[in-house]
Amino acid sequence: MENKAINPLISPKPSEAKPDTELESLRIWGKHPLSGHVHISGAKNSVLAIMAGALLCPQHCRLRNVPSLADIAKMRQVLEALGVKIERHNDTLELDTSHLSTSKAPYDLVSQLRASFFVTGPLLTRLGTARVPLPGGCAIGARPVDLHVRGLQAMGAEVHIEHGIVHADIRGSGGRLKGAKIYLDYPSVGATETLLMAATLADGETIIENAAQEPEVEDLANFCRAMGAKIRGAGTNTITIVGVPNLHSVDYGIIPDRIEAGTFLVAGAITHSEISISPVIPEHLTPVIAKLKDIGSEIVLDGPNRLRIIPGELRATDIETLPYPGFPTDMQAQLMALLTLAEGNSVVTETVFENRMRHVAELVRMGADIRIKGQNAIIRGVSHLSGAPVLATDLRASAALVLAGLAAEGETLVQGLHHLDRGYDDLETKLKGLGAKVQRVSP
């Protein structure tokens, strides 16, 4: 192995004291086949919404299969700032939500984690008031919350934004939101989850039309039902919630993370390796499996919740991201990394977020041939990628760069690991378990 060390300070200019992981990098020696099995952790995007959902119940909630992620640690801080008592034992969280001390979520925490805006609906419907900073945009898009706000207003809340803070209050009507019929202009995951949670304690029936159908929305609904909520149609585009006066404590297990699972399937395809993953819910991966088959891999069911990928020659294909059950935007970057090595030309179209192509420049740094035209990336397959120092710009972009590094000749240094740590539970240990040559390095 040629050990010409790559200078980690090539591109990022540290501007302020940043959490260590921001300055950490992952060194990857590519072109090593993977083999064996990898365990898939609980779903980040379920846990974040469900942790906020625990605020609906004035008792105690136990959440099992909770991954160790920076985002979940941040959400814990937000809930503790509201007065929730939280203990963690391995992958189990114990939440005591009986005594909330405030309905104001702290700016410094909310500004670091968009998902903390999910506390708005539960605080408002339980306490009759909520003060939550606007989450603001992020690397992948403006990410407005207008659909959340309009839905809460339709349920009778008074909502206005003042100095960057969303002020939401229930005036009169016995201090409860009112059931309402709400049509979402876009099947937003976050807006569906906010309104679903708010409606659980409302007075009357709420119908959310053009609702998001993501598995994480269904998982949140199942969690609320386990606490006694009356919800029908979660997982379809029409969800009906009949409000109840209160909810009770629950012990709930989180679904497996379909995006982590999809990322490992791509790790198998891009390194031409046969690996297996579990636990997974195969239906949740239907669009990803369909595309991996188009590209030339075989995916077999090795048991009720276990998948195995058998690699094949990589062929080009086109991908368009869409709300579920369409192809997930959270897998776009990873599939793009794979298509850089596929025979022929592929077009990847991102329709969900307006700025989710920032991994392209870094993949090109590794020798990929990609041109961007608006929301389309035109990819001409190349015979190989070369290792290089690259910079992660967001969570899924970081995963794509790690995958490209596993397939590249020589050494890749992925910088900005704080993005990766937000959504992947101990990725490098899992990759090492499959035989990958990776090492986390800090300056």
- The contact set with ligand EPZ (CB under 6 A) reads 45, 48, 115, 141-148, 186, 188-191, 212, 216, 329-330, 352-353, 395-396, 423
Residue 321 beta carbon to ligand EPZ: minimum distance, rounded to whole angstroms: 9
Which residues does residue 64 pair with via DSSP β-bridges, in sequence order?
253
**Computed from CA positions of residues 268, 269, 270, 272, in that sequence, does the dihedral angle turn out positive or negative?**
positive
Residue 333 beta carbon to ligand EPZ: minimum distance, rounded to whole angstroms: 9
Nearer to ligand EPZ, 34 or 255 (CB): 255
> Amino acid letter at 42?
G
Question: Based on the number of CB atoms within 10 Å of its own CB, is 242 exposed (0-12), middle (13-18) or buried (19 or more)?
Answer: middle
* 92-96, strands of its sheet edge to edge: 85-89, 92-96, 60-64, 250-253
Distance CA 339, CA 345 (A): 8
* Most distant CA pair in the chain, distance: 72
Nearer to ligand EPZ, 217 or 270 (CB): 217
Nearer to ligand EPZ, 191 or 265 (CB): 191
CA neighbor of 140 nearest in space, from 396, 403, 417: 396
Residue 394 beta carbon to ligand EPZ: minimum distance, rounded to whole angstroms: 7
| Secondary structure class of 441 (helix, strand, coil) | strand
Answer for the pair 411, 437: CB distance below 8 angstroms, yes or no. Answer: no
Catalytic residue status for 61:
no
Which residue's C-beta sits nearest to ligand EPZ?
190
Distance CA 336, CA 407 (A): 13
| Burial state string for 121-138 with b = 16 or more CB within 10 A and e = fewer than 16 | bbbbbbbbbbbbbbbeee
Distance CA 120, CA 124 (A): 6
Answer for the pair 295, 342: CB distance below 8 angstroms, yes or no. Answer: yes
| 373 Cβ neighbours under 8 A, 6+ residues apart | none
Residue 151 beta carbon to ligand EPZ: minimum distance, rounded to whole angstroms: 9
Nearer to ligand EPZ, 189 or 438 (CB): 189
Backbone angles phi, psi at 264, to 5 degrees: -70, -35
Residue 139 beta carbon to ligand EPZ: minimum distance, rounded to whole angstroms: 9
The residue annotated as part of the active site, out of 57, 61, 138, 224, is 138
Residue 171 beta carbon to ligand EPZ: minimum distance, rounded to whole angstroms: 23
Range 186-189 contact pairs with CB under 8 angstroms and sequence separation of 24 or more: 186/147, 186/210, 186/323, 187/211, 187/212, 187/213, 187/237, 187/323, 188/147, 188/148, 188/212, 189/45, 189/214, 189/216, 189/217, 189/323
Residue 425 beta carbon to ligand EPZ: minimum distance, rounded to whole angstroms: 13
Nearer to ligand EPZ, 345 or 375 (CB): 375
Answer for the pair 58, 99: CB distance below 8 angstroms, yes or no. Answer: no
Active site residues per annotation: 138
